[in-house]
Amino acid sequence: MSDAPVARAVGFNHVALEVGDIDEALAFYGRLFQFELRGKGATSAFIDLGDQFLALQKGRIQPPDQGRHFGLVVTDKEAVRQALIANGVEVLPGRFLDFLDPWGNRIEIIGYENIQFTKAPHVLRGMGLGDLTKSDGAVAELAAKGMAPE
């Protein structure tokens, strides 16, 4: 075992998804979510999530994801469920709201109010989401860690 110092992981800057076509991916995700485009090139696009982003990169060749996924936090989980249904996107079986995008990326949808993940108040204001709140359960989980919102 090394005695070298190690850094502490503190969060995510972005998640990168491989897709078949950038314009098709932006159109697909635009039917499900409101978002602002941070930037776009011929082989990549960046969807702004305030102080984080979702990177779309052209070139997916692997089979669809099974268990591998990421959790995307949203303001209204049920609105996403309805958008999935309205756009003919299959909701995967199970207790969570998971779906596969057209390129096989598995995404789990999570409501902001029910999780420990918290955007700083100034980031929420900058995103036009200053009124988002946490459920009592999420606040209790955060309080148990000394991280309750003020």
Specify whether the backbone of 88 is left (phi greater than 0), alpha (psi in -120 to 50) or beta: left
Confidence category of residue 11, pLDDT binned at 50, 70, 90: confident
pTM of the model: 0.90
> Considering Cα of 13, then 74, then 146, then 95, what sign does the dihedral take?
negative
**1 pLDDT more than 90:** no
Q: What is the DSSP letter of 65?
A: P
pLDDT at 150: 67
Q: Is the pLDDT of residue 63 over 70?
A: yes
How is residue 3 written in tokens?
């005695």
pLDDT at 149 over 90: no
The kind and range of the H/E element at 122 are: helix 121-126
Sheet holding 36-40, edge to edge: 14-19, 53-58, 44-48, 36-40
Across the range 90-97, mean pLDDT stands at: 96
Encode pLDDT of 24-50 as tens digits: 999 999 999 999 999 999 999 999 999
Report the alpha-carbon distance of residue 47 to residue 31 in Å, rounded.
14
Q: Does domain 14-114 have CATH number 3.10.180.10?
A: yes
CB-based contacts of 60, cutoff 8 Å, min separation 6: 17, 18, 19, 20, 103, 104, 105
- Domain residue ranges in the chain: 14-114, 115-150
Checking if the pLDDT of 100 tops 80, the result is yes
Q: Does the pLDDT value for residue 15 go beyond 90?
A: yes
